Structure 1
């Protein structure tokens, strides 16, 4: 008979995604029990504490601190604050206020709290008894501690575990609001006020933003070593991204690299508070694991301004098209199955009692994320061609032809200006040859494609005066695209576009590009201020007829 004692009920380890807590960013611990017991099967008690000692700049009181003066254990947030406090340090030596052993007396500059520093024992105050905790402004400069205690069914305590964090820092201030460039006849004529994203409320039109949000599954320190590790997790970046999206007041949002669980648990419910409805299409990546950890495309639209036409929402799965067209060619199919998707939605503008000479106004919006791999230039072109064919089919289904319905095609095309997909979109066709990306179609991916389309498309950012590249002297539209929409330490270039049917829509305004100095002051994107490696683009469109 086995008389040995049962294994103890104990918390083996506690873990946070980041050791650096930030004010306003929720902390949710992972709990690991001893002997592999599921934490879901145990009653756990959580208690969060704040250390009463404060670590902040001894001169101005700000965080984070980057320098420590070892002689008196003071901290500073910048070299300037260190220099500002230096006369006080000299005064310590002149008037004999240097710390004496055992007294704990210190010389304090402006903004430094005395606190319970005389004792080496840290004192803590309880701030929450919940599983998750969101640091508040009162926590800035203080260390946090989590105590997790398991309980037996009879109510007796098991063995607890504690975890201490770094001191809480304040998030950096948001970047200055970007301005709208007012456009008339495809030329920028003036600049609007910061933060105002409609240039003419009297004209019937809409604003659209496209933004690759950088899914958390790709936001790693290995890929972005220059970005502070605490600024990469979604629980930090989501606040910046939401603030940006809400500030633009866009009528339609086309988002890429939206993680499925982040759409369902955050973006969709949060944007619903601002009167947006959403549509989501996840990539076809079943082999990656659970559904929530895959990314996809999301489209949001203002419920008071738009309604979806009957049969007007269509998802594009490039994998499905490949299987339908090349199901018998395993070699070709393996090259084409890249999991990318797109959304095509036909809207009707809610006139709200208004009348317009053109009658009811409808518009087709497409949102996509084309394959990113540089080794698959043929697949990029294949996907772009099939997306155009799907758009044309949808427009014909809604309006009877491709010649009447206004259309905007936005997203991350992962194609540089002048590439084959860009040429196909901007010129209506592309010819393979020495000047193209595909001098030879080695895999036979595009040999049966028309490599043309009949939509009159123009890139919104190829507008004279929109940025440094958009010169009136340029006669090639592909040279008028912005210098970059994606800016990392290993790549800088334009990958994101907003194509529109220029015979049915006109551009009334464009959001100016981000200032280079803001992007480069932390090496590249993403950064604590800009939470994606792409910059959002916004355009205002007017109906022509």
Structure 2
């Protein structure tokens, strides 16, 4: 472990049996870690053992000390990064950008030390700093990389910034010099000359999903602290690493490991490129070993149908936010049948993305989309692979999930969008009128306006000779088991809003045909009343005399059809609830339903008790429908 067991550790243990037990336990920790990790940890352990306070703790309670030590070991392991930035020698990279967590632009500067080429120097400076301030700070950073016996000589070094071989004045502003002289500026340190590249594409941080399973997509994501990078223009190369060499196995942003990759590490090399075709220094990401996947065919593959020409494919899908899989209720009750490794986002997310790509949807309406997943993985991935633009709407309150709508940018133009919170009374009054005041005076119905429900509305123009506009609505109603009446009320509010937006769109685009498509997880079975409201504009018998509900309903000028018949038994299947909760509603005056994709077989759904499972990434099943315009 990098320290003397007999001399340094054994004297602190009480007896031979305890010594032997602790030694076997500590060795087990080391054996379960990668070799690279162990060497990184050795110095940490040695340092901790030699601390006086640690020795005292060890004498008082050896087991407590070992528990704390193991936590430290695995904490270090988790924080280790497998990304390597391959900087170019004799180049200084300067990027002007707003760093994460800040509001003002800064100069992000990266170079290899002139005194020790293996050391990377990073600086974050204000564009308003003078050249003298910048050089003084750079000197300090450079001197810190020197070996002790060389530092004294290094401090006599001469630092200067030159433009066209002329030394820049010490009082010049850094931001102005770097920006105005992009291709003629150099940094000179003694005999070293660094060419300065301004706003070159740089990837400072990225990840790949882990663990890695055979047959599931592997892709880079979370490009934080990256500057001027076009993920579409960048080049990607995947390698399989065996004992002797690296074998190229793929050259796209996405790689699907095969049976031949199992038990091997993979390496991804990204050559970042900007919109102008300029390349920057490459980054290398080393993965964990590929694990075996026993699934040959996923159920969604049996659902696939060819999309008809000139059709519009709509997908609605509650993708199950990871935050809901980590609760005690989820682990002990709702999803207790699903092994932890298959309910983890590291397994579900690649399977979900693989599924979404296979459906080839033109419009995706997603629910329970976590914020980080949307921005770090989902949106960049769908943009890169399917050319889809996405819009996210967060739920009210402190929820870290919400709604996500995606549309094919080569098929639709986004004319307008509306992000509506049902607890925003001022906005609701714009769409629903004075009836909102009546609702607030009713103790029962006003609770429907106190929930965290949101409604996402996109006005999409079809790019074709036909002048067609689609009002796309995406929602996720409350999930309270006793909330049928509240869901009915929320559905009425949302239909009233959609009706108002449709009327405005018809007035603004009188030569266009306007249709409405309403998707989502309505948390309502067909007999609960919401289905009849959408398809018949009728209210349940127990609410037909409610003045508020009737006033809302009378403002709605269109009925809708459901793409799937209600004889579909379920779109949600867990051991605590089974039922049809998800729907695609549409107006049929300008849209014609061509086909829907059949639901997965019941045998596949119950093969692992319920959803999610090794075969399904969510507790819901997606609905997919194809339409053509009339």
More helix per residue: 1 or 2? 2
* Corresponding residue number in structure 2 for 1:343: 456
1:415 maps to which residue? 524
Cα separation, 2, equivalents of 1:239 and 1:305: 26
Q: State the Cα distance separating 1:11 from its structure 2 match.
A: 6.9
Per the alignment, do residues 384 and 277 of structure 1 end up closer, same or farther by CA in structure 2, a change over 3 Å counting?
Answer: same
For 2:628, the equivalent position in structure 1 comes to 542
Residue aligning to 2:592: 506
Q: Given the superposition, is the C-alpha separation of residues 15 and 251 from structure 1 closer, same or farther in structure 2, using an over 3 Å criterion?
A: farther
- Among 370, 375, 399, the alignment partner of 2:482 is 375
Change (3 A) 1:502 1:140: same
User: Gaps spanning 5+ residues in structure 1: where?
Assistant: 17-27, 32-124, 128-133, 144-164, 180-193, 289-293, 463-479
> What is residue 173 of structure 1 aligned with on the other side?
296
What runs of 5+ residues in structure 2 fail to find an aligned partner? 1-50, 56-67, 81-242, 246-255, 266-287, 430-435
What's the CA shift string for 1:363-387, capped at 9, x where partnerless? 1111111111122222101110011
- Of the three residues 362, 365, 371, the one matched with 1:254 is 365
Partners of 1:370 and 1:383 within 8 A in 2: yes
Task: Work out whether residues 304 and 597 of structure 2, in 8 Å CA contact, stay in contact via their aligned partners in 1.
Answer: no
Aligned-partner Cα distance in 1 for 2:554–2:568 = 25
Point out the more displaced range, 4-13 or 224-233: 4-13
Deviation, 1:6, is: 6.7
Residue 82 of structure 1 aligns with which residue?
Answer: none
* Larger Rg computed on CA atoms: 2
| Equivalent-residue separation in structure 2 for 1:389 and 1:13 (angstroms) | 56
Q: Compared with structure 1, are the counterparts of its residues 456 and 450 closer, same or farther at alpha carbon in structure 2 (3 Å cutoff)?
A: closer
Does structure 2 retain, via aligned residues, the 8 Å contact 1:276–1:303? yes
Q: CA deviation at 1:451?
A: 6.8
In the other structure, the counterpart of 1:207 is 313
The superposition leaves residues 209-239 of structure 1 with CA deviations (integer Å, 9 ceiling, x where unpaired) of 0001000011242320011111111111001
The verdict on how the C-alpha distance between 1:177 and 1:374 changes in structure 2, with shifts beyond 3 A counting, is closer
Q: TM-score, normalised by structure 1?
A: 0.59
The TM-score, its normalising length taken from structure 2, stands at: 0.51
Q: Which residue of structure 2 lines up, in the alignment, with residue 12 of structure 1?
A: 71
Q: 1:496 to 1:176 in 2, by over 3 A?
A: closer
| Deviations 1:380-435 (CA, angstroms, capped at 9, x unpaired) | 011100110111111111112999511111111111012121111111121442xx
- TM-fit CA distance, 1:450: 3.5
Q: From the superposition, tell whether residues 335 and 317 of structure 1 become closer, same or farther in structure 2 (CA, over 3 Å).
A: closer
1:494 aligns with one of 563, 567, 580? 580
Matched residue, 2:615:
529
CA distance in structure 2 between the aligned counterparts of 1:15 and 1:487, rounded to whole angstroms:
37
> Which structure is richer in relative contact order (CA contacts within 8 A, separation 6 or more)?
1
- Give 1:172 deviation, angstroms: 2.6
SS at match of 1:418: helix
Is the counterpart of residue 275 in structure 1 residue 387 in structure 2? yes
User: What is the aligned partner in structure 2 of residue 195 from structure 1?
Assistant: 304
Please give the per-residue CA displacement for 1:139-178, whole angstroms capped at 9, x wherever unaligned: 85799xxxxxxxxxxxxxxxxxxxxx99954363341455
- Number of residue equivalences: 360
Q: Aligned equivalents of 1:501 and 1:394: distance in 2?
A: 14
Measure the CA separation in 2 of the matches of 1:439 and 1:7: 73
Mapping for residues 461-476 of structure 1, pairs under 5 Å = 461-462=564-565
Distance 1:360 1:6 in 2: 76
